[in-house]
């Protein structure tokens, strides 16, 4: 799976597709400042697109994983993930409880199944 | 990780130094650095661990993973980048997907900059400050800066940024190393932390019904589009799901108020 070379070319790819593609929005935000109506409809749409994309990424990582996560059965992955969300809500929206709890559930379930 | 969490959880949320009158810029910077020992920092550390493991899984070297974390400072975009590269997408396609994900940073930057006091006109410091715009720093800034003296705000915020960068880099490096040395089940648990953190962050920062519908649309469409349109599925999920959520959420205008706590 060596898709990125270790030399300058690899870092140039990361610089362009990673750093620049991200940082340009921060620069733009600094440049336009409060002249922009961030509560307006265009921004709501853009925000919805970015939100759906990240939610889609999450689903894809859980349902179609690569590497070590692929060694875990689908019901265990989905169960541990849903358990993490439930723990987050039960712990009054505590992120640490959700993230740590989900990981612990996955380990616990795998150990029980073996 | 669990041990790390409980230890950090006991740290007081408001450090004692908070009450002291603001002194030099360096004092404010130092108080900003204390963010490294907080619950949000512990969560960031956990998800950076996951990112390091994911990067190794995708074939990236330790140095490349660290470079991505330091230069991008936004985990969802970082994962999209790795995902796109691992699927052998072109640099342009990868950049496009990353840029679409990163649009969130524009409104965040616009709402953060006025909080920084606005006195300082040194452009390099301003560029550095906006480089640190990411969920953890943004939430902390909105929580802490309004009650901070004007001239102490920028240094304090820069302290937040340096602290979270150090935490994220440590997590990335530790996750990359650990992924190769821990049992598969632990590596799998590390890999699950990243998507969990993303979804919970989306839930935590959702402000309207549009956001919630967008989350549901994204989760529902992604598996479908992964089968129908592999390669374009992430962008298609975002564009179709986001647009539907926008239209649905706006048509039911009254629903937005239900969410305000």
Q: What is the pLDDT of residues B131-155, one digit of tens each?
A: 999 988 988 888 889 888 888 999 9
- Residues 20-59 on A with a CB inside 8 Å of B are 20-30, 32-34, 36, 38, 41, 43-59
* A69 contact B CB<8A: yes
Co-location of B63 and B152 in the same domain: yes
Taking CB atoms and an 8 Å cutoff, what residues of chain B touch A25? 99, 102-106, 109
Question: What is the nearest CA distance from B244 to chain A, expressed in angstroms?
Answer: 9
On whether both B38 and B146 belong to a single domain, the answer is: yes
**Is the pLDDT at A14 greater than 80, yes or no?**
yes
A89 and A107 part of one domain? yes
Task: Answer yes or no: do B178 and B214 share one domain.
Answer: no
Do A17 and A55 fall within a single domain? Answer: no
Q: What pLDDT does residue A68 have?
A: 84
Model pTM? 0.80
Q: For residue B118, what pLDDT band results from cuts at 50, 70 and 90?
A: low
A54 lies in the same domain as A86? no
Closest among B118, B8, B132, B152 to A96, alpha carbons compared? B8
* A1, pLDDT greater than 80: no
B214 and B194 fall within a common domain: no
Per residue in A10-36, is it b (16+ CB within 10 Å) or e — as a string? Answer: bbebbbebbbbbbbebbbbbbeeeeeb
| Same domain as A29, residue A13 | yes
Q: Which residues of B touch A21 (CB under 8 A)?
A: 77, 94-96, 98-99, 102
- Considering the domain architecture, whether residues B137 and B161 belong to the same structural domain is answered as yes
Q: What is the pLDDT of residues B21-36, one digit of tens each?
A: 547 889 999 999 999 9
Residue where the block lists tokens 């690569």: A66
Around A5, how many Cα atoms within 13 Å sit in the side-chain half-sphere?
Answer: 4
| Dmax (CA) of chain B | 60
Task: Read off φ and ψ for residue B183, nearest 5 degrees.
Answer: -55, 155
Residues B47-74 have pLDDT tens digits of 899 899 989 988 899 999 999 999 999 9
Share of chain B above pLDDT 90, in %: 43
B194: left (phi over 0), alpha (psi -120 to 50) or beta: alpha
Residues B240 and B256 in one domain: yes
Distance CA B19, CA B239 (A): 47
Say whether both B20 and B123 belong to one domain: yes
Residues A24, A44 share a domain: no
Range of the domain at B30: 2-203
Instruction: Tell me which residue in B184, B197, B202 faces A68 most closely, judged by beta carbons.
Output: B184
What does the alpha-carbon distance between residue A89 and residue B124 come to, in Å, rounded to a whole number? 41
Q: Does the pLDDT at position B119 exceed 70?
A: no
Domain-ending residue, one of B203, B225, B249: B203
Q: Are B186 and B229 contained in the same domain?
A: no
**Does B136 lie in the same domain as B19?**
yes
Of B203, B229, B251, the residue at which a domain comes to its end is B203
The arithmetic mean of pLDDT across residues A52-68, rounded, is 89
Q: Is the pLDDT of residue B208 over 90?
A: no
The conformation of residue A2, written as its DSSP 8-state character, comes to: -
The total number of residues shown for chain A amounts to 114
Domain count, chain B: 2
The total of structural domains in chain A comes to: 3
pLDDT single digits (tens) A76-100: 999 999 999 999 999 998 888 999 9
Q: Which of B203, B234, B250 is the last residue of a domain?
A: B203
Higher pLDDT, B252 or A45: A45
Parent domain of A48:
37-64
d(CA A112, CA A43): 47
pLDDT at position A72 is: 94
Q: B117 falls in which pLDDT band (50, 70, 90)?
A: confident
Q: Which residue has the higher pLDDT, B181 or B87?
A: B181
Structure tokens belonging to residue A50:
């970015």
B109/B228 same-domain check: no
């Amino acid at each position: 799976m060596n898709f990125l070379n270790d030399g300058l070319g690899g870092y140039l790819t990361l610089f362009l597709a990673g750093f620049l593609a991200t940082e340009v929005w921060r620069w733009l935000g600094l440049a336009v400042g409060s002249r922009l109506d961030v509560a307006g409809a265009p921004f709501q749409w853009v925000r919805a697109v970015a939100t759906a994309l990240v939610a889609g990424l999450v689903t894809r990582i859980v349902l179609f994983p690569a590497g070590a996560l692929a060694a875990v059965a689908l019901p265990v992955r989905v169960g541990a993930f849903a358990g993490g969300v439930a723990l987050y809500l039960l712990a009054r929206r505590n992120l640490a409880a959700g993230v740590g709890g989900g990981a612990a559930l996955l380990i616990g379930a795998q150990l029980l199944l073996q | 990780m669990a041990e790390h969490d409980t230890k950090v959880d006991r740290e007081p949320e408001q450090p004692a130094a908070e009450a002291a009158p603001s002194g030099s810029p360096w004092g404010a910077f130092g108080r900003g650095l204390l963010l490294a020992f907080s619950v949000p920092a512990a969560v960031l550390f956990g998800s950076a661990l996951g990112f390091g493991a994911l990067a190794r899984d995708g074939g990236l070297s330790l140095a490349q993973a660290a470079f991505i974390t330091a230069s991008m400072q936004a985990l969802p975009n970082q994962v999209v980048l790795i995902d796109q590269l691992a699927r052998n997408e072109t640099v342009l396609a990868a950049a496009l997907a990353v840029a679409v994900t990163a649009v969130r940073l524009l409104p965040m930057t616009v709402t953060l900059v006025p909080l920084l006091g606005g006195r300082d006109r040194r452009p390099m410091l301003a560029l550095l400050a906006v480089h640190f715009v990411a969920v953890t720093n943004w939430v902390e800034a909105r929580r802490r800066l309004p009650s901070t003296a004007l001239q102490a705000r920028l240094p304090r915020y820069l302290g937040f940024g340096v602290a979270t960068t150090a935490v994220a880099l440590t997590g990335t490096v530790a996750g990359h190393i650990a992924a190769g040395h821990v049992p598969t089940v632990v590596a799998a648990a590390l890999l699950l932390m990243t998507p969990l953190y993303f979804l919970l962050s989306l839930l935590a920062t959702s402000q309207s019904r549009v956001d919630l519908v967008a989350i549901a649309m994204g989760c529902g469409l992604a598996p479908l589009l992964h089968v129908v349109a592999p390669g374009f599925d992430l962008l298609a999920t975002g564009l179709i799901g986001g647009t539907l959520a926008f239209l649905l959420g706006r048509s039911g205008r009254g629903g937005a108020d239900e969410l305000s706590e």
